[in-house]
């Protein structure tokens, strides 16, 4: 089911988004799968089996939350959906660099659009989720500003909690004319744990 929702990675497994792609449970001694850099456990977990188990559990819980969310909304991952402007197109396509709210030339809303994951239903763009290292009030305010700047009533906005490990807030921009979409987890006063201790 995970490959059907997420697509297939170069290694043949599911194409997990950043933060859920370390495979802690499978690579206990070297969780980072990057060919260019092989890191052991993070410093805080290097010699702490309990911290290592927490990382494994967080990743498994995040993966389950993501898959349950995608299945509930009948969407599949669409890496070319980069920001809410991509939702205004009739089919999945990246927006131009200068126009992109996440990766455009001006700083704009980069503080909101971190760990971006795009979603589609068939060929139609449906949602873009962003999971950033920010507090809920900041994410709500800045996402609201981006939503206002977008200025299209067919795009809705919801704020909640993320599938990303470390208890991050999540904003989801979605096409209201296609689906009613919520955040991965219910809203809570999230205080991101940058060290994941």
- When mean pLDDT is compared across 14-18, 26-30, 78-82, 97-101, the lowest value belongs to 26-30
* Length of the chain counted residue by residue: 197
More confident residue, 92 or 181: 181
Residue 35 has pLDDT above 60, yes or no: no
Is residue 139 within 8 A of residue 111, CB to CB? The reply is: no
pLDDT above 60: residue 136 = yes
Distance CA 125, CA 156 (A): 13
| pLDDT tens per residue, range 54-95 | 888 888 999 999 999 999 999 999 988 888 989 988 888 777
The listed range with the strongest mean pLDDT (14-18, 99-103, 131-135) is 14-18
What is the average pLDDT value for the chain, to the nearest integer?
Answer: 83
- The reported pLDDT for the residue numbered 153 is 92
pTM: 0.86
Residue with the bigger pLDDT between 103 and 27: it is 103
**Secondary structure (H, E, C), the chain:** CHHHHHCECCCCCECCCCCCCCCCCCCCCCCCCCCCCCCCCCHHHCCCHHHHHHHHHHHHHHHHHHHHHHHHHCCEECCCCCCHHHHHCCCCCCCCCCCCCCCCCCCCCCCCCCCEEEEEECCEEEEEEEECCCCHHHHHHHHHHHHHHHCCCCEEEEEEECCCCCCCEEEEEEECCCCCCCCCECCCCCCCCCCCC
Residue of 10, 17, 11, 13 lying closest to 2 (CA atoms)? 13
pLDDT, position 195: 43
């Amino acid at each position: 089911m995970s490959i059907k929702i997420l697509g297939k990675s170069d290694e043949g497994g599911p194409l997990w988004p950043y933060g859920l792609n370390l495979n802690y449970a499978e690579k206990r001694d070297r969780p980072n799968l990057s060919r260019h850099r092989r890191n052991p456990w993070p410093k805080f977990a290097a010699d702490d089996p309990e911290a290592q188990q927490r990382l494994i559990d967080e990743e498994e819980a995040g993966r389950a939350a993501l898959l349950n969310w995608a299945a509930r909304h009948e969407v599949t991952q669409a890496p070319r959906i980069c920001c809410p402007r991509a939702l205004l197109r009739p089919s999945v396509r990246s927006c131009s660099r200068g126009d992109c709210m996440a990766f455009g030339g001006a700083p704009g809303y980069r503080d909101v659009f971190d760990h971006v994951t795009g979603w589609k239903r068939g060929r139609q763009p449906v949602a873009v989720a962003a999971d950033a290292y920010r507090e809920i009030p900041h994410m709500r305010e800045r996402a609201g500003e981006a939503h206002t700047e977008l200025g299209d009533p067919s795009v809705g906005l919801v704020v909640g909690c993320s599938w990303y490990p470390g208890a991050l807030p999540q904003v989801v921009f979605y096409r209201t004319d296609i689906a009613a979409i919520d955040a991965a987890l219910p809203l809570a006063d999230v205080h991101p744990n940058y060290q994941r201790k």
